[in-house]
Amino acid sequence: MDFKTAVANEILSALNAAFGSADIAAADIAAALEIPPDTALGDYAFPCFKLSKALRKSPMMIADALADAIHADFLGKVESVKGYLNFFIDRAIYAEKVLTLARGQGDAYGADGSGAGKTVVLDYSSINIAKRFHIGHLSTTMIGNSLYRLHKFFGWNAVSVNHLGDWGTQFGKMIAAYRRWGDHDTVAAGGVDEMVKLYVRFNKEAEENPALNDEGRAWFKRIEDGDPEALEIFNWFKSVTLKDAERVYDMLGVKFDSYAGESFYNDKMQPVIDVLKEKGLLVEDKGAQIVDLSDWGMPPALILRSDGATLYITRDLAAAKYRKDTYNFDKSLYVVAYQQDLHFRQLFKVLELMGYDWYRQCEHVAFGMVSFEGEALSTREGHVVYLDDLLTQAVEKARAIIEEKSPELTNKDEVARQVGIGAVVFFDLYNNRIKDIDFSWDRALNFDGETGPYVQYTHARACSVLRKAAGTEAAAPDFSALSDPFSQDVVRLIEQFPDILKSAVNRSEPSMVTRFSVDLAQAFNKFYYENKVMVDAPGTRAARLMLTDAVRQTLKQALYLIGVEAPERM
């Protein structure tokens, strides 16, 4: 039952009965309904002030007349207070309708199919070839993964793209270094770490012998020209990097539909450049080719260097056109740090100037930076935290906590993996994505705070209650047993879950789901301490078990949608 719509319909019927035909639609009434900050003021409140002019009555008189005219079975009470009409839903009916709907729909609770027939392309993670996966890639990876799952939940055809950083002179330098000092077996065994050693050695030796840089540029030119030997080594470097990255993605439970990176668009840029020329958008500036964006308060978009080389934006233009042509997306999301805000404003403006009205479907999903235990990360200064190291440490720390708190647990290693990795992901997605994050072990792995382990433990607690209840006498739920404030707080949150998910997907904001899971966990734990579930009265027990199962289901789904697993025992 949609209580908001039901209340709006009651108001409309009462308006017609008390004042004749009302020049307002039920949808407008529903939009005007407010949720009071204190449940003592009602579940919904309708301000009658906007009707005062049309009806030529005071708001208080209108509220009084409507209160007298409304007598719906699902309403426990209707009050007129200072021009507001306050509605109190019958507590038992409210609990019955919400829990029956949530339990009936199961994992699909809240999935309205609004994305059916639509396609979204999500560009996220975008790791660099020949470099290790570090903590700086955590936010883009997990925000993107959550948005991918949220869109799939609402029925979208979602396409996840890992736009690999696999283009540039550095790859020519790596090949030159490999040819001089490397060998296949050593790199195959050492993986990305061995490639990084070769690259560091190349740059160090190039300081003494600058001619090495020319050698690196020559090898990159061979990559650009499609030279078989250069491409063979280059593609091998990519496969070694992706093999290393797959370990981390497997730990995080992340998959991609496409690994088309920058190099994929090498032969797709010229058509874009041709369109820019045809539209008269390219302007020469000191030998380079630019698109002047000064009329929109932006620096020029540099399309071609003076030597004819392409840039990030050239490849991103080609990628945007390719994705539209290939997937015919209705929405294209770029999950990239906020430092690239100007780049994406330029990109979308150039797409608009090229005449592509679908530029409106493109969105930069920006996020803040990550520091670790109060220290900013810097590759140059050597302060970098590799993601596989971080996740492994998180699992080890979770294992130690579980050993201390639950030594009798049978599957400690599996739960430690779920809790440790879940803690890292949850911590990353807890705050609004635009905020900077300072990762802290103490906060992330706290079982009592607003953390992943706390929500996971609450889910496990609900599972434990349901296990203990298995085999007990079945009875019809007495929903009046859920009329107390603690039960009602839980029911109210479960009712809000579909709207939370809808807002999260519309605003590209997974933190809304993360924070909701904490709110629901806290509300359930208060309910659990204030209300004994396994009471003798069969109807009361059945109602409280139904609420417990709805919490279990909702927490599990919320955690899944942010990329966190839900252990059944902890």
Which of 4, 97, 137, 331 is catalytic? The answer is: 137
CATH number for the domain formed by residue range(s) 3-89 = 3.30.1360.70
**Rounded distance between C-alpha atoms, residue 95 and residue 452, angstroms:** 27
Q: Looking at residue 497, what is its pLDDT?
A: 96
Residues 316, 303: Cα–Cα separation, whole Å: 10
Altogether, the residues listed in the chain come to a count of: 570
- Distance from the Cα of residue 494 to its chain's centroid: 20
In sequence order, the β-bridge partners of residue 115 are none
Residue 221: per-residue pLDDT: 86
Q: Which residue out of 134, 151, 163, 397 is catalytically annotated? A: 134
**What integer pLDDT is reported at residue 552 of this predicted model?**
98
Q: What is the dihedral of CA 133, 135, 137, 138, to 10 degrees?
A: 120
Q: What distance lies between CA 379 and its chain's CA centroid? A: 27
pLDDT for the residue 380: 45
Interatomic CA distance for residues 262 and 310, integer angstroms: 11
CA distances from 372 to 375, 377, 378, 562 (A): 5, 7, 11, 21
Distance between first and last Cα of the chain: 35
Active site residue 343: no
Q: For position 1, what pLDDT does the model report?
A: 67
Whole-angstrom distance, CA of residue 360 vs CA of residue 324:
12
Q: Are strands 301-304 and 288-291 parallel, antiparallel or unpaired?
A: antiparallel
DSSP code string of 19-41? HSS-S--HHHHHHH-B--SSGGG
User: Which single residue is written with the structure tokens 């209160």?
Assistant: 67
pLDDT value of residue 383: 56
Q: Which is the catalytic residue, given 97, 131, 173, 324? A: 131
pLDDT value, residue 94:
94
Q: What is the pLDDT of residue 375?
A: 64
Separation of alpha carbons 76 and 70, rounded Å: 11
| 3-class SS of residue 87 | strand
pLDDT for the residue 378: 53
Give the integer Cα–Cα distance in Å for 511 and 150. 12
Query: What pLDDT is attached to residue 20?
Result: 81
Q: For residues 261 and 557, what is the distance between their CA atoms, to the nearest angstrom? A: 32
Per-residue pLDDT of the chain (570 residues), as tens digits, is: 688 899 999 999 999 988 887 678 888 999 999 989 888 889 999 999 988 988 899 999 999 999 999 999 999 999 999 999 999 999 999 999 999 999 999 999 999 999 999 999 999 999 988 888 888 899 999 999 999 999 999 999 999 999 999 888 889 999 999 999 998 999 999 888 888 889 889 989 999 998 899 999 899 889 888 899 999 999 999 999 998 899 999 999 999 999 999 999 988 999 999 999 999 999 999 899 999 999 999 999 999 988 777 788 999 999 999 999 999 999 999 999 999 999 999 999 999 999 999 999 999 999 998 877 766 655 444 457 788 888 999 999 999 999 998 999 999 999 999 999 999 999 999 999 999 888 887 787 887 889 999 999 999 999 999 999 998 878 999 999 999 999 999 999 999 999 999 999 999 999 999 999 999 999 999 999 999 999 999 999 999 999 999 999 999 999 999 999 999 999
- Active-site residue flag, 134: yes
